[in-house]
Amino acid sequence: MSTCFLRVYLLAVLIATTSPLAAQEQDTEAGDPVDSRMDVFRAEAQARIAELDRRYGEGFFTYLFDDGVIPYPYLIASELKPNIDRETIAQEYADIFGNLYEVFYREFGELLELEPVEEPIVVLIYDSKDSYKEMRESKPELHLPNEEFMGGYYQPNSGILTQWRQPNLWETMFHEGTHQLVDYATRQWNVPQISESPWIQEGFADFMGGHERKLKYSEEKQGFVKEFTLGQFISHRYSTVQTALLSGDGYSLKDLVCLDFVSFKIAQNSQEGEGENQRKTSYVYAQGWALVMFLNYYQDGKYKSLFNEYLVAEVHGEGGCQKFADIFMLEEDADWADLEAEYREYVFGDLRAMGKKHKD
């Protein structure tokens, strides 16, 4: 389960290339004070590096940024190991975060009216889960979250995404990176974390994380590029959704939409053992993902425009149960029940069929 701990999300305008130099050239053509902006960025990045060295120990991380490879405005701190080739690692992370940045803004930047992010976006990447665990246990003063129930996490109070290398690195990075981008890009609205709706925060991050990547030849770039399709089937999420809905132990549609941030975090932060909190947390992720899929794809996008309207409200801190009800015209319990019936029809119909096609 690619769960997370503390998070929020979003980020800036689409840059056509991941090269900081190319970004500077584009800004120069537009008449922006590029040198001044980059000087500020570099100074802020060095300040963050000094802070990280104080916290984690000088030499633990190698820092990648403003090098013509890592896309602006990312600052990648990768655990330094003797067997790691710095250039290869830089290319891998540039590929992941450059595409995340581009895909997100191509799909949602205009809809959400996002402004560019110019401060360093900090990502810490450990060599392994065990390496992260060793750091957590050796430096209890850092108060690092337990890795048992997550594949990485984003902490909005620090603005840092923490990850460890793993087989599904792209999917987990896109999920957690979406939380981070949302946070950075929406800071202009000063949205309090407590206003967030857990189902869409996690469901939308999974919508981004559960993507398909294919190589496609680009005439414009005279080479192969990655083509992304968001909102793909996630088998482990679907298994959890089935369990939640068939057992009757999951959330009703209304209870899921109306679940508040504090209640979710209390459960999420207390998942020891195989208890109710762990189960309920996994249901929020899975049912949230299924609901986002439903609202985007049911009956050829019947609710997609309403979903987009709600998404805009959410990132402005104006989401929640009543806003959802207003947008979807749910005036009484019978209206919620009708929408839930369609949701279940989709889960056990089109979504299940997507899963079978996915297996084939």
pLDDT tens, position by position, 124-133: 999 999 999 9
Neighbours of 317 (CB within 10 A): 16
261 and 169 in a common domain: no
Q: Are residues 186 and 261 in the same domain?
A: no
134 and 249 in a single domain? The answer is no
Which residue range is the domain that position 279 belongs to? 235-359
Class of residue 130 by CB neighbours under 10 A (exposed 0-12, middle 13-18, buried 19+): exposed
Distance CA 156, CA 88 (A): 29
Cβ-contact 71, 18 below 8 angstroms: yes
pLDDT at residue 10, as a whole number: 31
Q: How far is residue 261's CA from residue 289's CA, in Å, rounded to a whole number?
A: 17
**Across 206-220, average pLDDT:** 92
In a domain, 327, yes or no: yes
* Within a domain: 261: yes
pLDDT per residue as tens digits for the range 18-35: 333 334 344 444 455 678
Do 42 and 130 belong to one domain?
A: yes
Residue 327's H or E segment, with its range, is: helix 321-327
**Residue 249 clears pLDDT 50, i.e. is over it:** yes
Look at residue 1 and tell me if it is in a domain: no
Q: Is residue 40 part of a domain?
A: yes
274-293 tens-digit pLDDT: 688 899 999 999 999 999 99
58-62, 244-248, 274-278: segment of lowest average pLDDT: 274-278
Residues 6+ away with beta carbon under 8 Å from 280: 267
Tell whether 199 is covered by a domain.
Answer: no
